[in-house]
Structure 1
């Protein structure tokens, strides 16, 4: 920390304040010691500096006295010391204790940044260095030989620093901001050609070409008149460039946008001075600790964080990141991986470069933020584990967390500082009201603040109602005091009560229709609402619902979450729900209409998006009056993506009256979420649907719900549980007479058997499903079963049968058009031809499969096809291209969480490793596959991994022969047990050689 200031009048920190040095001779002594800091200065030299050639008889004694007083001053403020040396003195200070030293270090760093091309860092560093100056160097020190030389030296360095600063800012495209300052400095230093060059460039980029040429002529005139020389070649070349409009003079491309994600600060922010000062103080620490602002709902935590963040934007020049973590929300909290992806994208990391794993993403996030100065505001946090991965890596960053909880875990482990946010003090609450209600009398504002419990949310709602009603504030206060609100508002610390009262004030101002819709919104599941959903709740036309929603939003009881979409503050919603439970006896009927809106609209969307999948028919009891219509599949897809969270909430929150609607809605969502959302997020929904169906003892519902849950379990490789669920689904489907459900269950039983290596059993299930689909004339089902049989025969090594089955699929596809499994048969044909060494045919089929899967959004199938294409390209000698395809396949499969495809991709990657001679890396990949397949019970993949390990060890030469044979023998045993004929031939060849 600076303790001695010389860049301006000489000052010393005395422990409490900056103190001047009264005696001019004492200032000379300190200035000379500063100029030679760290080196001894003879006493005779100090005498000469003060008195010249005619020192007084007591000069030596006087110098000793000056030094003694300096020592006292320096030691008092821990600024340093004057150490006696032989016949002289030396100034000893801590590093960076003198502002000149700090200035010189910062200038050196700034120049280095310029040389490295880090112009933004250079500009910040040089700006900080120049900010240390408070006037002319050593401004109050009498001139001596040493003092004058030191002043000239540092003033010259200051001028150089200013030139470097201007150069960096020019590179950042800030010509308009510096042009006037450059013009003034050029007039002061007309012989500095570099300053003239920067001025000419700035003027030219500002469109002031004539002035740029005039600046050149002025400087040239001074140079010729005073030195007799012409400007240097750089300046002359610049004049020519300006005359000819040389393109190289154009401003640099605009730098990437620095993230500025903070919401707009709340208007008329009031009070919180102590907390704002605390945040300022914490922000000055290096590194700044994480700060947790905790308090009751509605007390203004977010408003405080955003207001302070906006006010200190200049302290965090590399940006501000913001995210609502939804810790207190009807929606699930934001997962750390989702938050990291959001922040990394804002920091310029492309989506494809964001790692799929949490640890890798955290590492990248901390690397990206390591050298930046960023403010991170994490709003509405639920728990410490949600926050920890989002702590940035740089000492210049700061994290501000808001939460209803104290987050003591962050205090214990990360050293976070907790700040409690209570209600506003009475004077600040009254001041806020006077700001919101100009002209309000002081006593009236103070009384209304008291009635509102000094809670910011309640204060603002009350003020909004007063502005809308044009009621005198005194009359409004009397109305409040006359009811039963006063006691509730006066309960100390009871924010919920205070908020409820404040909501009453706003609520009463609306029409009966708006109040009814507001109440019904309180019992509607989901986090947001649209006009069609609101229309279903209130049983009104959509146009009327739009008007009512807009009216409610204008009173701040709803807020806009996007075009045509509204959301609640959580306490506002609680208030609306309480009123609905007290006033509306038809609320269950309203929820019926909302469920029918979702069911009928989802049925229409599914008919466009997934016309051939197995799903339950919409029962005749569903009223489609509030169904949304779609123009095309893309329109339907957008609606489902926007409303899926609300539909999930409806499933999870369904009561006894709505259980059937819930499990039917879950069945309609099954295919959409299976194809578009991570499986783990879908599991709680399927379990809730199953609970609803069981409670109703409904065979059809239990069949559908078991299918839904089993689909998720299968996608996450929980094969034993998936197998049990599919078997139960089959039983319930038979009980309910649901043939399509039986074929779906059988097909998925075949899938489980296939992925666990029981290929004969998989074939039997597929053939039984094929027979049922053929009997009921369901062509899409027949196509899927034939494609499955083709894949099964392929893995068994019965390539001719596999090709025959898949060719039947390709022939039948023309009769049905688009269907969900399209591309599967082409993929199977491609793999079969690959195994037969027919690479051109394989490439043709696989290219068709890849395009089809991408069009359908089938990510797992896309990854598996990329894996096969990698094998084709590797087999034809295009190893580098194959490596790129395999890498992309691995990224996708880890993103969607398909463990079986991931294992297949790793096997393909190991083959590429062997082709490039890296047996050790191949062994590592294959051991990972072996452990995973054994854990999952996937015997076919286990056999593939064992064969791969046998090949890899064989490449190691004699040293690996024993291990190679051992792996090959194990593989042979597995293949014989499960009938993997093609793999067995490969394993036997390796075991016998």
Structure 2
């Protein structure tokens, strides 16, 4: 990325294609593993004028890139939400390696390891071969990313020369520094190094001449005097100070107190190790190089204070850094005195704000304002004053919310990750194990203890303070006991250790501090959010909002809660997903004055969601979106159904019955059957329609699990439950039963029964005006005609059904009809498989649009048969193995796919392949991803022969 984009795999270059796919790839790399929306990618590829079908074009380029990556790398580029993400392995990008190597060099230099630092900087600079991200158009994000890397390169050049100077090679450093100051004459750091190098070479006169040159340059061209570092260096040169000969860089020289400021900085680093924040430290350094005000925001216990202390304690500033702890400051007017004390202002005469401005006016230090959340307004006002009066001062703040100052840069400090980018244990695990070893010297975790440690880290959301408090309990509890007692986490997690930077005595107190700062409306909404499992959308928050909160909208309150780091917002998915940390959920549940009512509100939202999504699935026009929503909300569905099973079992019975097709089509059949059986037992006297609907859902959920005899028994139970249809609701249920029967009988050889049942479903659906039942009956009846020998009539009926389905938005029914049409083509003697493959590809496209994983597999299962007839038996063997593998992964019996797809696929493959070929194809197919399977079938659509 440090120049025109180049990709290597296995030591060989990878051809990315033309400029457009290169831009797409480069934009994904620049995102550093984060998802990038289709809109942002289109802007990166085409600029401000993308084509009308930009999303489709992006899909083509993505497919080409996957092909270029080869089988070992195609899964690195994945679809996520409404965009794409490139999962780049750690260390695979030169820009990342460059940043890490520069930081490593700076750390080595700070530790007086000059020779290794020189090697690190030299290696980092060799990776540059042009403008960063050169293939991308010059948009704002690209320019910002380029500027950051270019600035870091300039810093690396300077740090490399400082390291060379520190190794004692002053003559060699001076030779390079002459060129460096000519290349960037306004970078005072280079002049300082040149002056120091000249002095160490015994060239005092040349050093003073260089000082005069830079002073004249800055005055003539910029109208400014040299900065504090050059001024101090000038004094030291004139005084022939012996410190100039010490192996230190100018910025590392000790500061000289002046202007009435004492050397009181307030930093005391804890004795414990600091883990997992390298990236944040780098980001803080970068932001402070670009902005004068940076605020770290994040929830209680996430480690904001520790992060700023670790950053600031190693700074080589001539003045500062000064730490101001505001957690114990209760009144806004006291802030100025707290800052004055922290910076060592011995006496404050007159107006304190003016005295503080005067004292800091000429200082270039860093002022750290810790725990500002309860004094945000007053802190922001004083910060604006100080930054305006002190042009070289920088401010680093920590707060649960931003200060809201113009020009402020905010960095959200997230909990420690549970997993690293390469899939290994993340820094949350490293922190827990480190802290346990501190109280159990010599302890080595077993595999079982590692599994329990992962469970503890996940339950504590990777929150550093919570992890440290849990580890402290390892003195008297095993990891299994700690994991078990986390249901009452505030009793388990004891007081904060002495010497900790945490401003509160317990984790519970830290969270209470955040909640108490909220407005009444915001707090009321927060206490209604704890029942949500796995997050929630805005509409859910609106639905559970307490009655009487109409003065503040859910969006306003959620915005406030996110701003104050009580709720997190994932804006990389659509719609935005909100979530409470588990520890905050536990606290809210504990203080909720009416938890029963809160649970009821959540369960009511679940019921409404299930009903709305079921209507969309039935209508099919938005069926894919509805299934996607249900899949995302599955943890909430489980929680709501569990509540209703205990308190309102008839509601639970209705919900599990409404979700019939969700259980099957999204691979949750086993869970659906279990919940339906539980609800039927819990609500024996429920309304007739609800019990009948549940029995029907039970049949559907068993389609890929149960043997034929068991399915027949379930059909009979459903028929008894429906009884004689006496009203339109029961007639619709009976029509659904007949349609399901028709589909099942088609696979068991009862073809005439299938035809008659489908015919009855068509009649009832037409009479009731239910398009989905009418069209479902039509397609099943047409498929039955084919089995009865009326092939032409049946195929014509399927084609007509596809047209009707398209007109009425019944995309799923159109897909099923295409699958049935493909099966008919495959069963013809001496058939041309291309027609079948075309139909299968159309079916595949429709089922994927509907996000139906089960029937997508049914199409692919039938595609095995088609590939054999197309002369590609080895590909067919691979596809069969892949389909079986993914069916098992989804939790159902692969052999039962023949109920919806080709019943002859296994036979035709086994006939076409010998035993050795079958084994080879099976081994290769088991490794295919979902996209690989689809590509394998769709590639046959255009392949010759």
Q: TM-score range by the shorter chain?
A: 0.3 to 0.5
Instruction: Give me the TM-score of the superposition, normalised by structure 1.
Output: 0.44
Q: In terms of Rg, which structure is larger?
A: 1
What's the TM-score once normalised by structure 2's chain length?
0.46
Q: Which has the higher contact order (CA 8 A, sep 6+)?
A: 2
